[in-house]
Structure 1
């Protein structure tokens, strides 16, 4: 690729957890001279490696990976802050004549990086009041309120953090959070490649993956993060597997039960990811089990105008 080119596209690899996005990103990076930009919100955290399926540095084949390991488990970031960091990284990669490859299954973070998308402000007092109400009255009460004021968002989201955010936006602006989601319009030329496949095969992959994480020392990893503040972190402690194995360490669950709960939660998360990305008609889908997957993905990129790289 030509040095300093600003015409290079952005490649975004999307799809459910366990579909092989990280491996495909490596293949495309090797073929086209690319660098990866992480869009998995749980891989932002230092020390959360096994449970987030973070690709070990030794397995990255020398490909630079941006936006990993920049938060402690007590810390949080916002989608707006991620948007700025991701776009800065993407612009830097393109300015050096390299191909930026966004990879990760956090849907809103992915959209924030690739689309024209503005974020309404925040108010710590309003946020704190909603979080206090969440603790006192529970998520169903807040979900019911969100259904009344913003049924579109209520259909799309279900986790407590995003419900609180949607209600905060409504209280601050008088507008439903869903109204801030504009028409799909890329910031820079973008190719979205989606990975999907047989649902039963995915369930099997996810079960094997969770058991592999447990065998690799997930519980020890969770225990090692407690002194770092895992229990106090509003977001990190709720990550798949970490919440379940904290209960094991507290004597409230067993390894077998925590493993099964993690498998179920991961399947549910994968289903939400598929729903999110399927709603975007711009995604070009490939079957993760097809012969020549890497070649098919390379053809999509090459045919976009990167041919000859």
Structure 2
């Protein structure tokens, strides 16, 4: 029995947001069941086949027979872009809604979620400019280019990690191509479709850090090193996107002899905590999000109340 009622309601788009390890996956399944919907992945690294343990990808047996979309699309050698993902996700969402099924978006990549939900136009590209900045990256390194980006667009630099050379190059390319800050191309707080609801999970920071540490321990104990070893044989080290995933890059360093196993674990915990803080920074100033406590007994009902508040088509 779904929650759409006797009147023909607008089929909603529901996105579950919040920091990693807060419990988004469980809530997405609950809402998909109650709304008669299907789950749409918005985690950049869960796009990759074989990246299961380190991305906390939900096993098929645990998906409650609810269809999941945009998982396992790419090999670890392939690069994912936000622009491509936007197109894929909007196509899936359109198809689901045409069939009367509510898309329930869930994943840890805040930029990917915002790119799908909000008005977000991608500027073009210039192969010569891109090649120029990639050459600069090869010579100067990502930290030096990040410092340059901080001079030209402090807001963009604040949102891009100093070791993310690919995004730094893209930002500098766009600045030179358009004459505007790269941050001006980031999504506005305006939904593409007004029948959109974001539900955020709120969790105490100390508890979150404990849960992150526990999750990392479970990943390492559950075979993350073997997973990375297998993916290296499939070309993981050559993948510009996949190889930078948290946990994977630390295990790659361990297998290369640069880190002990304990150091790889510890660095994964630190990187995940930093990632969670960046996630929260994306969402903290978004007044459209309905925040619920991660462990509230009625969190599903609170989320459904936000969905029911959407306009109804008579």
Q: Which residue in 2 is equivalent to 1:171?
A: 176
TM-score by length of 2: 0.92
CA apart distance, 1:293? 2.1
Structure 1 residue 12 and structure 2 residue 12: aligned?
no
User: CA contact under 8 A between 1:6 and 1:97: conserved in structure 2?
Assistant: no
Comparing 274-283 and 215-224, the one that deviates more: 274-283
Query: How many angstroms apart in 1 are the aligned matches of 2:187 and 2:276?
Result: 24
Q: Does 1:151 align with 2:157?
A: no
Q: How many angstroms apart in 1 are the aligned matches of 2:290 and 2:131? A: 40
Task: Give yes or no for contact 1:6–1:94 (8 Å, CA) kept in 2.
Answer: no
Deviation at 1:182, TM superposition (A): 5.3
Aligned to 1:273: 279
Q: Distance in 2 between matches of 1:99 and 1:33?
A: 7
Q: How many angstroms apart in 2 are the aligned matches of 1:113 and 1:51? A: 24
User: Aligned partners of 1:50, 1:28: CA distance in 2, in Å?
Assistant: 24
Q: 2:138 aligns with which of 117, 135, 139?
A: 135
Q: TM-score, normalization: structure 1?
A: 0.94
| Distance in 1 between residues matched to 2:23 and 2:284, nearest whole Å | 17
Structure 1: gaps spanning 5 or more residues = none
> 1:199 aligns to what?
205
Please name the residue that 1:71 is paired with.
Answer: 74
TM-superposition CA deviations, 1:50-87 (whole Å, max 9, x none): 00000111110111111110000000121111111111
Across the two proteins, how many residue pairs are aligned to each other?
305
Q: Is the 8 A contact 2:11 2:100 kept in 1?
A: yes
How far apart are the structure 2 equivalents of 1:6 and 1:150? 43
* 1:43-62 to 2 correspondences below 5 Å: 43-62=46-65
The Cα offsets for residues 252-279 of structure 1, whole Å up to 9 and x where unpaired, read as 2111110000000000000000011112
Distance 2:213 2:184 in 1: 37
The CA distance in 2 between the partners of 1:221 and 1:215, in whole Å, is: 11
Where do 5+ consecutive residues of structure 2 fail to align? none
